[in-house]
Amino acid sequence: MRLSNSSAAGHWRSECGISLVEVTVAVAMAGLFISALTLMSSNILRLLRTAKDDVSASQALQERVEEMRIANWAQITNATYLADTLLSTPSDSTSGLANPVETVTITAYRPTGADPTIRARVIRENNAALIVTSNSNLVNERMVRVDIDLSWKGYPRNRQRQRATTALIAQGGITK
């Protein structure tokens, strides 16, 4: 009887211990789980960064459109006014964007004159506004198309990103 009791105790001791192979497998599985979590969190952070840039760009475009709405007709159709006033300072929303370039293009909408390409274009880049084209005949038009483009170097790998908006502005404003 004693013999069988000691063999049962020895058998019980060998089953309750953990082998080195089991510990190694458990550590490897925990490592894979942690690396998967890290990879997923880095992807989520990348998506959040891209979304933040997109929201900042959209908000900057909306700010420029609102600034255009405040201006009168002579100012909207004047490239010098656009460069010296509207684009003289960066939009507050572009502060988080890398190398933002803003382009405002004013084009006659259904031009009344003989020239169908009556246009003014101003670009703000590197903290300076530059008049690319100007046309004093825009003031004589009844309606203009305002195209505002914003491009910047985005995440990941400084990829070129762009957002744009368009507004139609009439000379008399909103009338019945």
Closest CA to 149 of 74, 49, 80, 60: 60
Reported as a pLDDT band with limits 50, 70 and 90, residue 176 is very low
In the chain, domain spans: 20-170
The helix/strand/coil state of 93 is helix
pLDDT at position 131, please?
94
Give the pair of three-digit tokens for residue 52: 């933040």
* pLDDT over 90 at 62, yes or no: yes
pLDDT tier at 12 (50, 70, 90 boundaries)?
Answer: low
User: What is the tens place of the pLDDT at every residue in 72-128?
Assistant: 999 999 999 999 999 999 998 998 899 999 999 999 988 777 677 789 999 999 999
pTM for the whole structure? 0.75
Distances (CA, A) of 98 to 82, 152, 159: 23, 6, 10
Q: What's the CA gap between 41 and 43, in Å, rounded?
A: 5
* CA dist., res. 35 & res. 30, Å (int): 9
Percentage of the chain with pLDDT > 70? 88
pLDDT value at residue 1 = 45
Q: Which residues, 6+ apart, have CB-to-CB distance to 39 below 8 Å?
A: none
Q: Is 63 helix (H, G, I), strand (E, B) or coil?
A: helix
- Identify whether the C-beta of residue 133 lies closer than 8 Å to the C-beta of residue 79: yes
Element (H, E) at 103: strand 98-108
